[in-house]
Amino acid sequence: MSETNTKRPYDIVVFGATGFTGYLTAEYLSQCKEQPTLSWALAGRSPSKLEDTKRKLLDGNPKCKTIGIINADINDAKSLRAMAEQAHVIITTVGPYLSYGEALVKACVEAGTHYVDLTGEPEFVDAMSHYYDEVAAKKNIKIVNSCGFDSIPHDLGALFTVNALNDLIGPEYAEREGITIEGFVRAGGTFSGGTWHSAITQFSRMRSFYEKKKHWVQSKKQDPSKRRRRVGSTPMRIHYKPEFGRWACPLPTIDPQVVRRTAKARANYGPNFKYGHFALVKELPTALAGMAGVGGLVALSQIKITRDLLLKVKDPGQGPTLAQRQNGWFSVKMLGQARNLMVWTEVAGGDPGYGETSKMLAESALCLAFDTDKTPAIYGVVTPGAAMGEALIERLQEAGMTFRIMS
C-alpha cells in the first residue's frame, strides 16, 4: 500500500453500487470473511438509491450497519477526488469505461488510491497505461483493469500453468528458454446491457483505436529491463482439438492482451512466452457463424444509425435473473508446454458474467487492501496477474473457484 494510503476511513469503496453488477459486488462484500473488520462504503450520484441499497444489504446481514455512503458523480471531478481520498481501494463498475473511466483513474492516481474495474475494452486499458502508468508506478499505486471474467480466469490461469511448469522443469529453464500456453474457453450464461454497450462502443472505435495505439507505441520509451523478453501469440486459426472433441475458434477479446502484459511484467514467464486464446465449439458451422456474426456487428457499429439501433437492444443497467445466474458456469482449460513437457490445467466456476465476476472483483479489492505483504511489488497500470498474482489465486480458491492441475 502506498504511504499516502495509511490513514483513511475506508478500506474499500464500491463506486456504482446501485447498478446491477455494483450491487452484486457490494452484496459479496457484505458476506465476506473480512466483514467483521472491513471498513467500507457505497458510492454513487443518488444518495437515496444508495440508502436503499444499504437497507437491502442490511436485510441480508444486519451486522453491516457501519457501511458508509459517499455522494460522487462521474461528471464531477472534485467529488471523485474526495471519494478517492477516503479509500485504500476503489472498486468501479461504472461503464462503458471509455466514456466514464478515465476521470476516476485520474482521481485515484492523484489521491494515491488503488483501483480495480471490470473493463474488457482494449482502447481504455491501453490509454490508461499510456497516460497514467509511469506516475502511478512512482506513487506505488496499482491501477488494475479487467478484474472480472475479463480477464482473471485467463490471466491467473496462465500464471497457475506457468508455475506448474516451472515446478516441473525448474524456473531457470523458463528464464533461459520459454513457455507456450493455449487457453480453451467454454461457458454457459448471459451478458448484461453494460457489457453489450461496451462491446458495441469498442467495435465502433476500432479504426481510430489502432491509429492511437500505433502512436502510443512509437512515443513510449521501452523499459531496458524488458527488452530481452519476447511475448507473442500462437497461430490464431480455427482448428480441431481431439482432446476435447471440439473446434477451437480464436476469441477476439482483451484476455490475450492481459495475459501477455503479465508475462512482460513477471520474469517467471521467461524471455520467449507465447499465448493463444480460443473458444471451444462443438460444430464447425457454429464456429464459422460466430465469427461471421462478430464481423457483422463490427461492420454495423461503424454506421451511426445502425450503431444506435444496436445500443437499443439492451439497456445498460439490464442484467440476468437469479435463475439465469445460478445456471451459469465456465471452464478454462490451459495447455502449457516447455521443453518436451506438457501440463494441463483448469480454472472453473459458476456464472461467469455476474456471480463469479462480482466475486473476482471484490476479492481483487480485498487482496489489495489486506494482502500487501503477499502481492508482487509491481505498480502502475497493471494486470491482475502482475498486481496480485498468487495471493489472488489463493483467495479465489478459498472462495470456491477451481484452479487445478489435470495432468
Q: What's the pLDDT tens digit per position in 365-378?
A: 999 999 999 999 99
Cell of 78: 472534485
Q: Cis omega before residue 376 (within 30°)?
A: no
Whether 132 and 166 share a structural domain: no
Q: How far is CA 79 from CA 89, 131, 208, 264, 357, in A?
A: 16, 21, 31, 35, 27
Whether 233 and 316 share a structural domain: yes
DSSP 245: T
pLDDT band at 339; cut points 50, 70, 90: confident
Between 199 and 114, the more confident residue is: 114
Give the domain range for residue 247.
152-350
Q: Which CATH number does the domain housing residue 94 bear?
A: 3.40.50.720
Whether 221 and 367 share a structural domain: no
Whether 207 and 108 share a structural domain: no
Poorest-pLDDT segment among 213-222, 299-308, 378-387 = 213-222
CA nearest 90: which of 165, 172, 5? 5
- pLDDT reported for residue 285: 67
d(CA 1, CA 88): 8
pLDDT band at 188; cut points 50, 70, 90: confident
Q: Provide the number of structural domains found in the chain.
A: 2
Between 328 and 186, the more confident residue is: 186
Buried b (16+ CB within 10 A) or exposed e, 335-363: bbbbeeeebebbbbbbbbbbbbbbbbbbb
- pLDDT reported for residue 387: 98
Cell of 146: 479487467
DSSP 204-243: HTHHHHHHHHHHHHHHSPPPGGGTT-EEEE-----EEETT
pLDDT at 156 over 70: yes
Poorest-pLDDT segment among 34-43, 115-124, 321-330 = 321-330
Domain end, chosen from 307, 330, 350, is at 350
Give me the mean pLDDT over the 330-356 stretch.
Answer: 89
Pick the most confident of 155-169, 220-234, 327-341.
155-169
Please state the separation of Cα 25 from the chain's center in Å: 14
pLDDT at 154 over 90: yes
- pLDDT reported for residue 316: 60
Whether 313 and 366 share a structural domain: no
Domain end, chosen from 350, 371, 390, is at 350
pLDDT at 88 over 70: yes
CA nearest 236: which of 252, 220, 260? 252
What rounded mean pLDDT belongs to the chain?
86
pLDDT band at 2; cut points 50, 70, 90: very low
pLDDT at 236 over 90: no
Whether 319 and 339 share a structural domain: yes
Considering just the CA atoms, what is the radius of gyration of the chain in Å? Answer: 21
d(CA 217, CA 202): 19
Domain end, chosen from 333, 350, 367, is at 350
Rounded to two decimals, the pTM is 0.87
What is the SS3 assignment for 193? helix
Q: What residues form DSSP beta bridges with 233?
A: 275
